[in-house]
Chain A
């Protein structure tokens, strides 16, 4: 548990192994809610929030329950159930205690259950961090740091992409490329740019 671990995990998850452009997780919201930069910010806030809680809970569940009772093969079913109920729970708590947060993030929460970035990060944490057989506390710290970095990277890319898309709307794109095709090419060019960050750690 040190700051070096924290910042290394954040930079590598946010910039080098970017969740959207390098690992292709969460493409549906990336294409779906990126038409306006305001909704992109709302979505990435909700994703960051749920992702941090989900990776903490799933890591704990795997280490202290599933592995302990020798049923790790059931992890996919357990994780998706935990994430689905967690999203519902977060929505309920938010509605009760913070109306303003609920108003800005609330409509994106139901979409998050089927966002593969959340389940993807939880599964990746197990293979990458738990597989190294570190002690529980260190592992959880690393998993949470990675998920913060991943959420930030998701927000960064989806915000930049939505800003580009808003500009693209005003331009005269050929009919065949209008909409998703040209956005995908833009995403490809952004991905090329992120490739340049590969060696910074």
Chain B
């Protein structure tokens, strides 16, 4: 696997949320708006890259029996750092994400990458893998967040929780006025339904591709069968001709 493949695999092909269903709690809980989803994604990028780096660095010194507790301590250290930074610089985001910042520790995605990739690979590969996987996670969160915020309010706001690059909140996209929005999608029931719709779309693509492949395979086999039959018949005719 080249470095580029290693980086790109997390984005679509092995997307942690849409394909492996890892880290579903934040995917449902913090995606009521685009901005909280983006904020959570940035935190996860930092934590996953850092933890993959350190786990890969010390992978030869950790005894096999106590590896899981050691990984958890490493991850928890990074989460604590992130929590303090968020509280200091973006307090609104800290309040909005609330309990889900410390809960990054038990996100299956991060422990899963430490266990299945970083503990077996070199430092640089592990860092690339961490960035790629976390970017895939962020993309998935943003997809859900954009869908939910658009359906609920009709606009995509930026600058409420992440006050960077803008003086005051601006709306990035404006589809329809707020009074036509489906408020349900900003509430918990909407989270389940929105994620269900997105997963159904991705499953639809998978099913269609599989059907297409099966059809092609079937056609190919038919073709081969026909050719073999044809050959058999010709041989038979030739044999009959020789006998004469």
Stretch at the interface among A61-69, A96-104, A116-124, A130-138: A116-124
Query: Is B189 touching A178 in the complex (CB atoms < 8 A)?
Result: no
Min distance, Cβ B173 to any Cβ of chain A, angstroms: 25
Contact of B199 among A74, A80, A184 (CB under 8 A): A184
Given the known interface contacts A28-B24, A84-B69, the answer about A181 and B192 at a Cβ–Cβ threshold of 8 Å is: no
A180 within 8 A of B: yes
Interface residues of A in 146-201 (CB under 8 A from B): 175-185, 187-189, 191-192, 195
B73 close to chain A: CB less than 8 A: yes
Interface pair A24/B28, CB less than 8 Å apart: yes
Q: How far is the CB of B110 from chain A (nearest CB, A)?
A: 10
Tell me which residues across on chain A come within 8 A of B21, comparing CB atoms: 31, 180
Given contacts A28-B108, A81-B73, A187-B192, contact A76 B25 (CB under 8 A): no
Among B6-14, B78-86, B150-158, B220-228, the one that faces the other chain is: B78-86
Question: In the assembled complex, which residues on chain A have CB atoms less than 8 Å from the CB atom of B166?
Answer: none
A115 proximity list for chain B (CB < 8 A) = 106
Interface residue stretch chosen among B52-60, B200-208, B232-240: B200-208
What is the bound-complex CA distance between A181 and B102, given in angstroms?
28
State how many angstroms separate the Cβ of A123 from the closest Cβ of chain B.
5
B181 contacts chain A at the CB level, 8 A cutoff: no
B189 touching A73 by the CB < 8 A rule? no
CB-based contact A188/B103 at 8 Å: no
CB atoms of A120 and B103 under 8 A apart: yes
Residue A21, interface by CB 8 Å: yes
Q: Is B191 among interface residues, defined by CB-CB distance under 8 A? A: yes
The CA-CA distance from A69 to B187 in the complex, in Å, is: 40
The reply to whether A191 and B108 contact each other, CB–CB distance below 8 Å, is no
CB of B105 closer than 8 Å to a CB of A: yes
| Contact across chains for A188 and B196 when beta carbons are under 8 A apart | yes
For the complex, count residues of B whose C-beta is within 8 A of A: 40
CB of B87, distance to nearest CB on chain A (Å): 10
Asked if A139 lies at the interface with its beta carbon under 8 angstroms from chain B, I say no
The distance from the CB of B99 to the nearest CB of chain A, in whole angstroms, is: 5
Identify which of B107, B200, B204 gathers the most chain A CB atoms within 10 Å of its CB: B200
Query: Contact between A177 and B200 (Cβ–Cβ < 8 Å)?
Result: yes
Known A22-B188, A181-B196; judge A120-B99 contact (CB<8 A): yes
Contact yes or no, B188 A24, CB < 8 A: yes
On whether A119 and B76 interact (CB within 8 A), knowing A81-B69, A184-B199, the answer reads no
A80 touches B188 (CB 8 A): no
On chain B, the residues within 8 Å of A25 by CB distance are: 25, 103
Question: Is B77 in the interface zone, CB < 8 Å from A?
Answer: yes
Interface residues of A in 43-94 (CB under 8 A from B): 73-77, 80-81, 84-85
Interface string of B21-53 (1 = CB under 8 A from A): 100110011000000000000000000000000
Known contacts A26-B25, A116-B106, A119-B103: A76-B80 contact under CB 8 Å: yes
Please indicate the chain B residues that have their CB under 8 angstroms from the CB of A180 in the complex.
21, 196, 199
CB contacts (< 8 Å) of A84 on chain B: these are 68-69, 72
Interface centre among B102, B105, B192, B193 (most CB of A within 10 A): B192
Other A-B pairs, 12, CB within 8 Å; known A116-B106, A178-B203, A184-B199: A22-B188, A24-B29, A24-B191, A27-B28, A73-B80, A84-B68, A113-B72, A119-B102, A123-B103, A181-B203, A185-B192, A195-B187
Please give the residue numbers on chain B whose beta carbons come within 8 Å of chain A beta carbons, in ascending order. 21, 24-25, 28-29, 68-69, 72-73, 76-77, 79-80, 83-84, 99, 102-103, 105-108, 111, 184, 187-193, 195-197, 199-201, 203-204, 207
List 28 A–B pairs whose Cβ atoms lie within 8 Å, in order of A's numbering: A21-B188, A24-B28, A24-B188, A27-B24, A28-B25, A28-B108, A31-B21, A31-B24, A73-B80, A73-B84, A76-B79, A76-B102, A77-B73, A80-B105, A114-B111, A176-B204, A177-B200, A179-B203, A180-B21, A181-B197, A181-B203, A182-B200, A184-B195, A185-B197, A187-B192, A188-B192, A189-B189, A195-B188
Q: Which 8 A-B pairs have the closest CB atoms?
A: A184-B196, A188-B192, A176-B204, A24-B29, A188-B193, A181-B200, A191-B189, A77-B76
